[in-house]
Amino acid sequence: MNDATDIVKSDAELAARYGSPLYVYDLERAVAAYDDLRTSLPEGTVVYFSFKANPHPEIAEALRERGGSACKAEISSTGELAAALQAGFDPLDILYTGPGKTTEEVEAALEAGVRRFSVESVNDLRRIGQAALGQDAVADCLLRVNSTASGATTSIRMTGAPSQFGFDSETLPELMPELRSVPGTRLSGMHLFSLSNAKDEESLIAEFKHTITAAAEVRDSTGLEPELLDIGGGFASPYLSPGERPVYGGLRAALEEVLDSHFAGWRTGSPQVACESGRYLVGDCGRLVCTVTNVKESRGGRFVILDAGINTLGGMSGLGRLLPVSIQFESSEPVEPLERASLVGPLCTPGDILGRNVPIPDLRPGDVVTVPNAGAYGMTASLLMFLGRPAPTEVVMRGDRVVSSSHVLFVRMYE
């Protein structure tokens, strides 16, 4: 990383200085998102920052410094572990999650001092226990629960169906004697994560109400009194298009009410309540700056070709739920009325499409454009190695002042 103190006024200036394409992250916006989320949650709630959204250590460090002991790290790989440690997180403040943990990565996490794991199956628990015994340690384990139904009917569902994630809730009463007896482990809580990117506050509240009710049912049917109750996330943020993060004015009161109904001691930390967030915390802190390389017509269609494609942005677009991408264009001249075109990348594949029928100004080769709200699931959710094109530079800013620049992600995370 290169320290810098330059003030930069435009994305075109950033592209000229650091190359194109490049990701730009504003730490002030990440901190503002953290403050908004804290205000929306009950007093005392722990926030786990989900590194999968964006593992840049400087972003994570800014969130950790802002949140203090109430901001912890949720990771699911040794690469994210390295980033969390680089960002200054105490290993005891790290939650290791994921359905496919290997013995090697569990051992690496334990060696680094991590002691809290979310477990998804009997085999997962046994693997963690065996690795812990090998290091004369005891792993605190949260049972991830796949409940039988869901509260919201929209957004990205992660519960209420057959899944690689978690224990089916109806099987837990019978499994509990076996789970309690695994050497090297201690069952210390529950982990429920059933929704991503809630459509609206009503959907988010409905899902959290269902989640907390489901956790109480598991407690009652198994006798497991959770020390930590991780109720997941689902906080929304606009993705790759203009828009503002929602502020959840009614969430805090709704959560307090349902927690009071089912976990009477939560206000004094029994259980400690936690939420997870990645998208909400970092989504609007980042943008992708790229350059138009060509504009062409084909059989009545217009194509704007960028130097950034699915290798740089939107590698998850094949799932069919992240399109279309929108762009913004800085210009000192009046912008012509918008036309419609397909935004495509530079790759030798017809799948390199960022958006179809996207409204754009009259762009020309060499114009610098910006994809907004790309701080979450940008580069880390893309096909970075496809066709061997270089990864973008990442520039970190505070407002209009450059803090650092770095290249490349894999070097940063694994060196």
pLDDT digits (tens, 9 = 90+) for 262-315: 999 999 999 999 999 999 999 999 999 999 999 999 999 999 999 999 889 876
- The reported pLDDT for the residue numbered 12 is 94
**What is the model's pLDDT at position 319?**
47
Spatial distance between the Cα atoms of 8 and 13, rounded to a whole number of angstroms: 7
- Distance, in Å, from the CA atom of 333 to the CA atom of 389, rounded to the nearest integer, reads 33
Q: Which pLDDT belongs to residue 331?
A: 66
Has residue 180 got a pLDDT over 90? Answer: yes
Backbone angles phi, psi at 183, to 5 degrees: -60, 145
From 117-131, 205-219, 307-321, the region with the lowest mean pLDDT: 307-321
Per-residue pLDDT band for 215 (boundaries 50, 70, 90) equals very high
Is the model's pLDDT at 321 over the cut of 50? Answer: no
| Neighbour tally for 296: CB within 10 Å | 11
Predicted TM-score of the model (pTM): 0.91
Q: Is the pLDDT of residue 66 over 50?
A: yes
Determine the Cα–Cα distance for residues 178 and 184; give it in Å rounded to an integer. Answer: 13
User: Residue 122 is encoded by which pair of tokens?
Assistant: 């009997």
Q: Residue 305 corresponds to which tokens in the numbers above?
A: 């070709």
pLDDT tens-place string over residues 157-169:
445 454 576 788 8
Q: What is the pLDDT of residue 374?
A: 94
For residue 105, give Cα distances in angstroms to 53, 79, 163, 173, 381: 20, 10, 22, 29, 21
Q: How confident is the model at residue 163, as a pLDDT?
A: 58
Q: Which residues contact 306 (CB under 8 A, 6 or more apart)?
A: 21, 290, 291, 292, 293, 343, 344, 345, 346, 354, 369
Query: Tens digits of per-residue pLDDT, 386-411?
Result: 888 888 999 999 999 999 998 755 44
pLDDT band at 364 (very low <50, low <70, confident <90, very high): very high
**pLDDT tens-digit map of 102-124:** 999 999 999 999 999 999 999 99
Residue pLDDT, tens place only, 28-50: 999 999 999 999 999 999 999 99
Q: What percent of the chain has pLDDT over 70?
A: 88
- Tell me the C-alpha distance between 208 and 78, whole Å: 30
Q: Give the pLDDT of residue 326.
A: 81
* Residue 410 backbone class (left: φ over 0; alpha: ψ -120 to 50; beta: rest): alpha
326 phi and psi, to 5 degrees? -115, 160
Q: What is the mean pLDDT of the chain?
A: 89
Q: What is the pLDDT of residue 320?
A: 46
**How far is residue 50's CA from residue 84's CA, in Å, rounded to a whole number?**
10
Residues 6+ apart with CB under 8 A from 246: 200, 201, 236, 237
Position 152 scores a pLDDT of 47
Taking CA atoms, 235 is separated from 48, 139, 258, 282, 360, in Å, by: 13, 29, 18, 11, 29
Question: How far apart (Å, rounded) are the C-alpha atoms in residues 375 and 82?
Answer: 20
What average pLDDT score do residues 7-32 get?
94
CA distance 369 to 334: 15
185 — pLDDT class (breaks 50, 70, 90): very high
pLDDT at 336: 67
